Each structure stands twice: as C-alpha cells, then as structure tokens.
Amino acid sequence: MAPAGDRRTGFSRRRQYGIFIGYVLAVAGAVVGAVLLVVSSFNPPLFAGIRMGVASVTAPISGGLATVTEAAASVPEAINGWLFAHAENAAMRRELAAARPLLQRARVIAYDNRRLRALLAVRDRTPDPVVTARLVSSSASSGRRFALLDAGRFSGVLPGMPVRGPEGLVGRVLETGPAAARVLLLSDPESIVPVRRSRDGLPAIAIGRGDGAVDIRSVNATDVRFAAGDVFVTSGIGGLYAPGIPVARVAAAGTDSVLGRTFAQPDTFDFALVERVFMPLPAAPTPAAAAPTDPAP
C-alpha cells in the first residue's frame, strides 16, 4: 500500500468533486464579474438597481452579524467593568469605614463649638460671671436630679450660685468641693424658682417634678389660664436668680397649674456658666412726710 503522501489528486472522488465545484464557482464568479463590469459601463442605472437589490438582501445579514460581533466584543468589557466596579466599591467601603470615626468626631467638635459660642454670648451679657465649667454628669434615672460641675471653691464657686446654659437656667449650686460642685437641677422636687410670664409679667413659681419637667403654678390668683407655648423667665423676686433668664415653656394649656418643659436640658450640653448670686437693690426710701405745724394762734 502506497503512503498517504504519494496518493494522487484523483484518488478520491470527493476531492475531485470539490476541485471541480471550486473551478465552476471561480469561472461563474469571473463571468458574473465581467457581466457586472459591462453592465456598469454601458448601463449604469441597471447596475445601480442590481447593486441596491443585492444590498437589500445582504444588509439584514450584515446587521445581524454586526450585532452578534458587538455583543461578543462587549462581554470581556462587561466582565472587566464588573471586576473594576467591585474593586472600586470595596475600596470606597474601606475609605468610608476609615472616615466614619473622623466624621463623628468632627460633628461632636462642631456641636461643642456651637454651644460654646452661644455660651460665650451669654457670658458677654453677664456683668460679673464666676466661671465657665463643664457638666461632667447628671442624674436621669432617679427621683432626685443633680449634676456635677468640674469647678469648685478654687474657681470661686460657692453654694447658692445660679448655673445657666446657652438656652436658659440649669439650676443652682448645692454643694462645693475644692475642684467640683454639685448642682441642684430645675427638675428636682426640691427646686422652687420664682418666675413670671414673659408676655404679661404674670407671677408664678416653677417647681421640679423629678422627671425632667417642672410644674408652673400661679401665685396669689385663681382661675389663671395658661396657654401652650407660654414662656416663663426668672422674676428676680427673693434674690438668687437674676431676672429675665429663660426657665420653661408651657407644654399644654391648663388652669392654675400646668406642665412645663425646661429650656436647658443638662444631658444635651457640656458647658455651663456659673453666675454670682443676684442681690436686688433695696427699695428707695420714701421722703418723710412734712411735720405738721401748729396753727398760728
């Protein structure tokens, strides 16, 4: 048997038919090309019609092949984009996790700065402030309401001195140590503050309830109507608290005794201002009445 490399072309009929068909297609293509060349030279309109007819048949096929090619080419790009987006999202999550503590710290600093600016404005209006100190803690789970101030006798803090925040009155100093002081809050049941209504000067007293709020009670009058939103400030009666310090706002309308919400919430700010005890000026003496003179005889 002869080796495969020595076989002739005509050994296989299939190969013979293939070669023959190839020759036929080549001759047919040459003839068609020659005919189209002659037609395009002698009858251009006819050639244009034939060209557009062939284009109409081949255009959908070409469009479909182009769509398939573009879809196949976009697969690697989509995979690459997904991998890049996944890696970018992971990097952004890491950056966010690293920046979150810094953001929280910046918010705390901004909050403290706003409070300190407000307290500084109050201090500028106070004629003789004692010290600005930090409220390091306050009781909120018991019936008694106290706060601890990180300033004491060394800073000039003495029992009875009023303590106020940016929004209003906090309470008064109850006990002092060398570097700390205990503050009796407005909401403590032992706290009683003379107040007046800001819109008409109606006298009242604010008494602590032990639950973070105060009772506003009328003084020397009955059937007194309180409207929701009425603002009460210190009256200055009896000394201790200077007049005009915001104390509480009425929560709901009522008669004679209503619930009030204090403006200053010790658990929402850090710094407070200690003021000197208010000493009202004594009333000016009235001029003595002229002594009666004896009538002339």
Distance between CA 181 and CA 160 in Å, rounded? 11
Asked if 176 and 148 touch (Cβ cutoff 8 Å), the reply is no
Q: Both 58 and 112 in a single domain? A: yes
Structure tokens belonging to residue 197: 């209504």
Expressed as residue numbers, the domain containing 44 is 14-125
Q: Both 78 and 148 in a single domain? A: no
Map residue 297 onto helix, strand or coil: coil
Q: How many CA atoms lie within 13 A of 221 on its CB side?
A: 14
Cα torsion 5, 10, 15, 20: sign: positive
Q: Which residue among 107, 125, 143 closes a domain?
A: 125
* Burial tier of 273 (Cβ tally within 10 Å: 0-12, 13-18, 19+): buried
Distance between CA 269 and CA 166 in Å, rounded? 9
Q: Which residue among 125, 159, 186 closes a domain?
A: 125
| Whole-number pLDDT of residue 290 | 45
Q: Both 160 and 266 in a single domain? A: yes
Structure tokens belonging to residue 167: 């929004």
pLDDT (tens digit per residue) in 84-128? 777 777 778 777 777 777 766 666 666 666 655 655 655 555 667
Number of neighbouring beta carbons within 10 Å of residue 149:
27
Residues of the chain with pLDDT under 70: 1-11, 36, 39-43, 46-59, 62-63, 66, 73-74, 78, 80-81, 83, 103-127, 140-142, 267-269, 281-297
Q: Both 104 and 148 in a single domain? A: no
| Whole-number pLDDT of residue 246 | 92
Distance between CA 200 and CA 182 in Å, rounded? 34
Per the domain annotation, does 92 fall within a domain?
yes
Q: State the first-to-last Cα distance of the chain, in angstroms, to the nearest integer.
A: 184
Q: Both 191 and 121 in a single domain? A: no
| Whole-number pLDDT of residue 289 | 46
Q: Both 95 and 147 in a single domain? A: no
Listed in sequence order, the DSSP H helices in the chain are 13-42, 44-125
| Whole-number pLDDT of residue 47 | 62
| Whole-number pLDDT of residue 207 | 94
Helices 44-125 and 13-42, axial angle in degrees (round to 10): 90
Asked if 260 and 227 touch (Cβ cutoff 8 Å), the reply is no
